[in-house]
Amino acid sequence: MFTGIVTDIGEVVAVDPLAEGLTRLKIACSYGPDTIDIGASIACSGVCLTVVSRGRDGNRGWFAVDAAAETLRITTVGAWRSGTRINLERALKVGDELGGHIVAGHADGLATLIARDDLTDMARLTFRAPAELARFIAPKGSVALDGVSLTVNEVADDTFTVLIIPHTLAVTTLGALAVGNEVNLEVDLMARYAARLMEKRASSE
């Protein structure tokens, strides 16, 4: 589990196709390699991936993960290339501060940036969500976009708006987004569970 609070921006430095539809990605980061366990989970722009190796190239640490065909198909991971910058968050530990919201690291789909307004003290980003996910997004609710925990400001049909403060723009990849870019979208787990309960209640009446 994660909180949607990004702790580093990593850089993809190698993408190597493997057998059986797997792709291995080597990601440079500021985490000390000795602090990363093999088998640990790291959220990479909102996608939970398992560390299969780690090391250091000069002064720079790195870790490698394997992405399966399904992950490559439904997330932005399939478009990552050498030089791609990604948001990183290590798995939540018992006792850690829950600064964002509960994030599973299981991207539900892709949201597309359709408008960006850079204001004096923040940026207003408007996204279009897949129709099957839009019903889980509500004003004042939570979403994770490329692994960043955000509060929804406005909702209209299949579009929603978030306001991004300067700090978040500076320490995540959201600051570099342009209209037409896609991000990994994870809807709020609580919203999904609530909708499921409502569906069950309606079907039993």
Active site residues: 2, 41, 48, 50, 68, 106, 151
For 200: left if phi > 0, alpha if psi spans -120 to 50, otherwise beta; the answer is alpha
